[in-house]
């Protein structure tokens, strides 16, 4: 874990930190925390309001690409951000793949989470934002309606191949990184560990990293089954309403975007998508760089801390960041700036374009 990524409150706590005592000190501390939260909330509001203007100033425009994906047997879309001088250049560029969360889609990173702004800080980086519906980025074991639901293959094979074929990418491991939020964090870590030859760096912010672990435990009777979610008629109607931002026939409503069938038929199939199992199976020298990030008020931080603790115990290099924050866009807007910077550096160094210890100069 790098020194720059150890904030107060991270896994390496300061054992020498003095604790205040007495009622007056406690009251002062609580008042200070409330003021800090208020200031931070106001600051985030300004960031949210300014991101669209800042993104335009950086000159990064979202492009939407439509293509046929054999893995899921349907037309799909992804958004892409190209360097400002892409058309005037003959250079090839590294690629960062950003994965969306549950109930989200390929537009969220570009329209809500600040990807165009942060991508504009780097003049030699392509950013791709695929779509995987509510699939958990898994190749489903069985289909309930005959539709192919191989969403891991959709991303790893079809999206990556389409990007490499149609854009000037550095089409090898050293030129690829992948990260995601929530369900996408699970997908990035899982797919990266299942395909370590594909990505030099994988990351997660607010990732549901225990999803596969818990699915296997339920099938083994070690955890109670998950209660089916109850929805009101109005909620169900909204789930069936197509989202015009997505614009994919048969894949634009939440109902259409949720695969029918069985994700895992056996505990072993769930184990095959469990980061805590997968990381033990990949030879140490083949492991990609791993970045974990989560808000301290997000219940999913349990999984991030558990995986970080395992990597510390096994002396596996990684980066970890935790900051005050919840499971929401306000946190992800801050997180993607940190993650993109680290993964960009990892790719640059793997490509031999930056000596270790030397960072990119900024104006």
| Cβ density class 9-39: b for 16+ within 10 Å, e for less | ebeeeeeeeeeeeeeeeeeeeeeeeeeeeee
At what angle are helices 211-219 and 183-194 packed, to 10 degrees?
Answer: 80
How is residue 257 annotated by DSSP? T
| Cβ contacts of 318 within 8 Å, gap of 6 or more | 1, 289, 290, 291, 292, 308, 311
Instruction: Tell me, yes or no, whether 218 lies in a domain.
Output: yes
Residues in the chain, pLDDT under 70: 1-59, 354-363
- Residue 199: give its domain's CATH number: 3.40.50.1820
How is residue 175 annotated by DSSP? G
What span, in angstroms and rounded, lies between the C-alpha atoms of 206 and 335? 9
How do residues 182-240 score in pLDDT, each as one tens digit?
999 999 999 999 999 999 999 999 999 999 999 999 999 999 998 888 999 999 999 99
Residue 299: C-alpha distances to residues 5, 305, 330 (Å): 21, 11, 16
What span, in angstroms and rounded, lies between the C-alpha atoms of 245 and 247? 6
Q: What is the pLDDT of residue 63?
A: 97
Residues 204 and 185 sit within 8 Å (Cβ to Cβ)? yes
Q: In what order do the strands lie in the sheet with 62-69?
A: 62-69, 74-81, 126-129, 95-99, 176-181, 201-205, 289-295, 319-323
- 98 strand-pairing partners: 179
Residues 204 and 192 sit within 8 Å (Cβ to Cβ)? no
Instruction: Tell me, yes or no, whether 38 lies in a domain.
Output: yes
Find, among 300, 41, 259, the residue nearest to 144 by Cα.
259
Max Cα–Cα distance, the chain, nearest Å: 66
Instruction: Tell me, yes or no, whether 16 lies in a domain.
Output: no
> CA angle at residue 31 from 30 to 34, to 5 degrees?
85
Q: What is the pLDDT of residue 355?
A: 55
How many separate domains does the chain show?
1
Instruction: Tell me, yes or no, whether 162 lies in a domain.
Output: yes
Instruction: Tell me, yes or no, whether 336 lies in a domain.
Output: yes
Q: What is the pLDDT of residue 354?
A: 66
Instruction: Tell me, yes or no, whether 210 lies in a domain.
Output: yes
Q: What is the pLDDT of residue 268?
A: 98
E-state strands within 251-318: 261-262, 289-295
Instruction: Tell me, yes or no, whether 7 lies in a domain.
Output: no
Q: What is the pLDDT of residue 125?
A: 97
Q: What is the pLDDT of residue 41?
A: 40
Q: What is the pLDDT of residue 3?
A: 34
Instruction: Tell me, yes or no, whether 58 lies in a domain.
Output: yes
For 93, the domain range is: 28-350
How do residues 159-186 score in pLDDT, each as one tens digit?
999 999 999 999 999 999 999 999 999 9
């Amino acid at each position: 874990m790098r020194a720059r990524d150890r904030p107060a409150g991270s896994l390496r706590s300061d054992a020498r930190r003095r604790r205040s005592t007495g009622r007056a000190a406690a009251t002062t501390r609580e008042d200070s925390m409330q003021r800090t939260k208020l200031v931070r909330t106001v600051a985030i509001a300004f960031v949210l309001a300014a991101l669209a203007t800042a993104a335009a100033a950086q000159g990064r425009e979202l492009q939407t690409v439509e293509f046929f994906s054999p893995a899921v047997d349907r037309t799909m879309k992804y958004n892409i951000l190209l360097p400002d001088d892409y058309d005037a250049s003959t250079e090839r560029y590294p690629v960062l793949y950003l994965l969306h969360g549950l109930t989200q889609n390929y537009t969220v990173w570009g329209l809500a989470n600040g990807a165009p702004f942060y991508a504009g800080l780097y003049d030699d980086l392509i950013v791709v934002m695929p779509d995987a519906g509510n699939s958990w980025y898994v190749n489903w074991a069985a289909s309930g309606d005959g539709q192919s639901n191989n969403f891991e293959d959709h991303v790893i094979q079809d999206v990556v191949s389409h990007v490499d074929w149609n854009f000037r990418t550095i089409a090898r491991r050293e030129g690829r990184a992948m990260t995601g939020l929530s369900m996408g964090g699970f997908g990035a870590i899982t797919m990266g560990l299942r395909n370590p030859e594909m990505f030099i760096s994988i990351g997660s912010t607010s990732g549901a990293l225990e999803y596969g672990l818990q699915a296997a435990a339920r099938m083994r009777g070690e955890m109670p089954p998950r209660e089916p979610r109850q929805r009101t008629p109005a909620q169900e109607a909204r789930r069936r309403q197509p989202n015009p931002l997505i614009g994919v026939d048969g894949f634009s409503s939440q109902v259409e975007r949720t695969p029918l069938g069985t994700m895992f038929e056996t505990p072993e199939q769930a184990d095959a998508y469990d980061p805590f199992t997968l990381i033990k199976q990949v030879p140490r020298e083949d492991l990609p760089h791993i970045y974990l990030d989560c808000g301290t008020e997000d219940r999913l931080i349990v999984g991030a801390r558990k995986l970080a603790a395992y990597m510390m115990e096994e002396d596996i290099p990684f980066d970890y960041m935790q900051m005050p924050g919840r499971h929401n866009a306000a946190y992800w807007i801050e997180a993607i700036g940190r993650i993109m910077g680290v993964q960009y550096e990892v790719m640059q160094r793997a490509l031999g374009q930056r000596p270790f210890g030397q960072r990119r100069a900024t104006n």
